[in-house]
Amino acid sequence: MLQFLLRSVGLGIATAALLLVAVPSLRTNILPQDVPEDRSIDNLSQISFNKAVRKAAPAVVNIYSRKYTEKDRSKLLTQGLGSGVIVSEKGYIITNYHVVAQADQIIVALQDGRVAAAQLVGKDRRTDIAILRVEGDNLPVIPLNPDYSPIVGDVVLAIGNPYNLGQTTTFGIISATGRSSISADGHQAFIQTDAAINEGNSGGALVNTRGELVGINTASFQQATELETYGISFAIPYALANKIMQKIIADGRVIRGYIGIDGQDINSVTSRLLGSEHLGGIVVLGVDPNGPAANAGFEPQDIILKINDQKINGRQSVMDIVTELRPGTVVDVLILRKGKEQTLQVTIEEDTRD
């Protein structure tokens, strides 16, 4: 019996050895393989945004606003600092209005060591945008992509000069879009991010992982509310900043259309009662007695449906359409009043509110 067992075991071992020699691929599943000595985390794929930073950072400048002293008008003292973004080979720079609002002289320092006095082309307090211009050859321009639309979850980098420490890059994601509650008039929509934005970052660039300009860093939540919070900062979307820049370059200031109404989006219950064809309309809550809408015959509770045959989609779309219209333009506004549609003609005036 013992001889039979030993013979069976020996035969099994011999058969296994023969199979391992005949079929080498079996060895990898049975025999342990040597682990290469250089297999370490350094040789694994490493996430880095260096390429994006190298594309965008040269176009982000430091801005120093200087002001004459009260006692000696011949002396200029630096009284504020911020950042700006070169967006054109012609030397146009987008920054924040509050960075240069009180400046008698504006100095721009490029990352390549060049320093120049900047010309203030124009500013817009409502959107907190100012446009500067510097002279120079081979100016770095930040990558621009008009087709990019920021969405929640996108990784972004904030580049600026916080506390005058020198150019600094912070990292985060877009945590919300369309934030209007912190704007002065409650209308302007900000990008919200958790990338750190501190004093001196204002006017700097918020870029995506391709180095393309996403927005102009403008405020942190604690600056806006005087609350000590972390991870909530805001930027002006590039699309809006670019629109304001084009207006300032064309006219030296931002000219906005005005009709003089205050409205509210129709809620879901009202829209069902009115019918799907009226979805997106807004209810007029108030009318400026001295404004164009009052002259055209608007009344509270009117429902605005279309402007110049363009179907509206809520309160924000009405503002966007009207502000783009030049003063003096006559538009047809389709309204619903007491269940009946009618068209009112409104002559657009310039919005002179600050």
- Chain segment 169-189, per-residue pLDDT in tens: 999 999 988 776 554 454 568
Q: Is pLDDT at 81 greater than 90 in this prediction?
A: no
Q: What is the pLDDT of residue 15?
A: 55
Widest Cα–Cα separation across the chain: 116
pLDDT of residue 35: 45
124, 128, 194, 351: which one is catalytic? 128
pLDDT of residue 17: 56
Q: What is the 3-state secondary structure (H, E, C) of the chain?
A: CHHHHHHHHHHHHHHHHHHHHHCCHHHHHHCCCCCCCCCCHHHCCCCCCHHHHHHHHHHEEEEEEEEECCCCCCCEEEEEEEEEEECCCCCEEEEEHHHHCCCCEEEEECCCCCEEECEEEEEECCCCEEEEECCCCCCCCCCCCCCCCCCCCCEEEEEECHHHCCCEEEEEEEEEEEECCCCCCCCCCEEEECCCCCCCCCCCEEECCCCCEEEEEEEEHHHHHCCCCCCCEEEEEHHHHHHHHHHHHHHCCCCCEECCEEEEECCHHHHHHHCHHHCCCEEEEEECCCCHHHHHCCCCCCEEEEECCEECCCHHHHHHHHHHCCCCCEEEEEEEECCEEEEEEEECEECCCC
> Is 187 a known active-site residue?
no
**pLDDT (mean) for 142-163:** 93
Which of 65, 98, 175, 302 is the catalytic position? 98
In tens, the pLDDT along 7-62 reads: 554 555 555 555 455 555 545 444 444 545 454 555 556 789 999 999 999 999 99
Q: Determine whether 202 is an active site residue.
A: yes
Backbone conformation region of residue 328, classed left if phi is above 0, alpha if psi is from -120 to 50, else beta: left
Domains (range + CATH), the chain: 52-133 (2.40.10.10), 155-251 (2.40.10.10), 257-350 (2.30.42.10)
- pLDDT digit string (tens) for 82-134? 999 999 999 999 999 999 988 889 999 999 999 999 999 999 998 899 999 99
Q: How confident is the model at residue 203 (pLDDT cuts 50, 70, 90)?
A: very high
**Whole-prediction pTM:** 0.77
**Active-site hit among 202, 220, 233, 302:** 202
CA separation for the pair 332, 113 (Å, rounded): 55
Catalytic residue at 98?
yes
